[in-house]
Structure 1
Amino acid sequence: MGMRCNYHFLAIYTFIALFFPFIDRFWMESLSTQQRRILSEYQSITHSEDVPNSIRILDENDWDLETSVQNRYIPSGYKRQRYKRDATEDYDEDNDSPSSTSALLGHSGSSTASSSTAQRKPKWRILTAFMWPFNFVGKITWHIFHYSVRLIYRPTITPPRRRDPRSEADRFLQNFESTYGTIHPDFFSDGGYMQALKTAKDELKYMMAILCSEEHDDNDTFCRQVLADTELLEFLRQHEVVVWAGNVRYAEAYQVSNILQATTYPFVGIIALQPPTSNSTSSSMNCQRKMVLMDRIEGLTSASSIVRRMETVMQLVDASLQSLREEQEQRETERRLRQQQDEAYLESLRADQEKQKQKEAAEKAQVKRELRARLREQYIKYLCQTIPEEPTTAPSSSNSIKSVTKINFRMANGERVLRKFKADDTLKDIYNFVEAYPYLKEMEEGRTVNYPSEASTSSSARKNISPIGRPESYVHRFNFSIHTSFPRKVYEADDNRKLADEEGLWPSATLIVDTIDNEEEDKDDF
């Protein structure tokens, strides 16, 4: 079914394509050269492709082009109006001779042309009546084919991509400078027309909107001379006028021309804040103020004229604009003052918070040190209870001499202490003794005044210590090291290394105790 429809449409289209050119050729060959020229102009004005209908309308209006264009929608049989023109329209100003347009349209006034037209009139009416059925069938066939093709094939139409206002502003600036040079007002380039309008409103400035059109003869003179005038440029710079310009060939500038109702180019619009009315208050003026077109300059003008028109507008608006500027400056001053006060308050608050943090950190560190000192003291007192008794050697027993070593300690404070240890004692037992020695010494001195040079640490002295448990979750770190004098060899507090296995500690040795600082002790003790 679909294939049949396609064949029918193809046959109809072939018939139209083959038959209609012969009909048009038949109509055209029966016309004179002058009539063909009038017909061509009529079709270009009305965009009509129907040759027989166009000839019929021209024939009914005596081949008057202007009257035919005006009466083309009036049906046949109705009275048509003849449009009279000014008497001076068909004559040139120089020699008062008929113009070329009048001669072309057949308004020479010769009786020959009129009589010739009158003789052809019945002939054309008979021919039009004869060809009317063919014309009617052709129109119906063409419309059927046209709508059928639209139903079968609908091409996708993608509208042209519209440029954003910033791109259009950049494009206009590049084209302007490439054509007229770089001496021109400082055109607004941070956006489009609406952005320039917003900038002028927010900053309480005047705005000048310039619309150009290359199709007008005065455009080149205006862009090359008026916009480059030194007086105008200095005036715009001095008053900080926001200047926006565009070419009506671009989409945004065309919309602006409709908004400002520009009819003649070049166009200059002077825009400013609307002056307040007599019954408007300052607060309502600030809330409802808007930018309005105060003056418009259409067509070619001079730079001094634009300056004078700007000065006239400024005389009307400057008072209210200055009042708004003072209010804005006062608000800005108050805002900066509040901002400075807020910054000073926040700075003081941050300093107080920092001091409070440092104070809290110092208190926490102090509490931690005190706790560590108490736990350390508790642990050392616990060591005093766990240190084994100092072994004794009998003079007659050789085995007991081999199982005991004498170690001479030189403490960090310069004091010398002699202590015996068993062979199976470990290096950590040595460290525990040195750590607990000050407490053992205090207990010994509390029991007797004359304390011997040998730290016997007798059981009677340790009995004075009350039972103390080992502190929980406490990791003890020794704040000293033990080493030999020469060659220097440091012994670590190892619970698995026995004294009998250490060369240099058996059967006697001299060890030096040096104090060390544990910076990470506060963090790792518990």
Structure 2
Amino acid sequence: MLLHTWYFVKTISVIVPDNVEDEIVGSITFSENFTTRYGPIHPPFYQGTLEDALKEACSKPAKDRKILAIYLHHDASVLTNVFCTQLLGFESVMQTFENNFVLWGWDITFESNRQKLQQSVNSCLGSTAAMSLKNIPVDRLPALVLIMRIRSSTEIFNVIYGNVGVNELLSSLIECAEVFSEHQRVEIREEAERAEREMVKLEQDLAYRESLEADRAKEEAKRNQERAEHEARRRQESEKAETEARKEAYRKEVEASLPPEPPQCQGDGITKIKFRLPKGEFIERRFEANTPLKVLLDFLVVKGYPAEEFKVISSWPRRDLTALDKNQTLKDLHLCPQETVILEER
């Protein structure tokens, strides 16, 4: 049998040469030489590695998935020519492949290429799948290995051997497509429900994050306002303290320069001024009659009633003493021998 196989492959142009190193190159060579030998009337073959073909078919969302069909070719099988020209070229078979399958072909005529396939299947689908393909006898080739992904499991669903008629092949492909479609509808619905749940969760998470952000923004605005108010109070208090310090320094300066109050027994040259304060209290002080008005106003500064903040109103005639010439004497202003003046806030 080995001698017959060697003789057969030597007398025709092989589809894939012996010892193909690159699986992508091998798949492209397979597709091109298959078309050259059997003509263009056949389902298109995926060009790439087996792993890439598996991803193209099975590693997509459920609505985009297809079944992976691995076509195993062997030039020494008497079934090959009929299978390739008549079965794969049948219109309904091609239509079924186009609608439901990703077709990947590999030539296992040479043992080296069979071994390479075994390694790829073992890597992509596991040792059980690799062992099941290894044991296919040559006289049952070609073969179509149908692989589908159901939920999280990717497994061989069926193997269609070369000794079938077109009706049996078509029935097997349609049965596989119907089983896959039934599971696919369930997974599409589950994925949609899962996507909807995830969307609701995303919206809830977004709303929660926005709420947290709004709360943080409010807290930050509150802290900023509190800092601004604190800074304003601190500035006002500082300004007030500075103002008070300046006023106190000025008051002490005025107090130091204020002439002493004359004694009561001094005689006619004395006038007694009574001051009615804004809250109704009274204070009084004696001044010499020839004292300038400025001294009277300085006395009020010492008592905490500066002219910048208070008017000093004489009773008759009614006038604001702070608006008069401060160099005039109390006698000139007819504030002798006694007078009551009223302090009013400006």
- Give the TM-score of the pair, scaled to structure 1: 0.35
Structure number with the higher strand fraction is 2
- Give the TM-score of the pair, scaled to structure 2: 0.50
Higher relative contact order (CA 8 A, sep 6+): 2
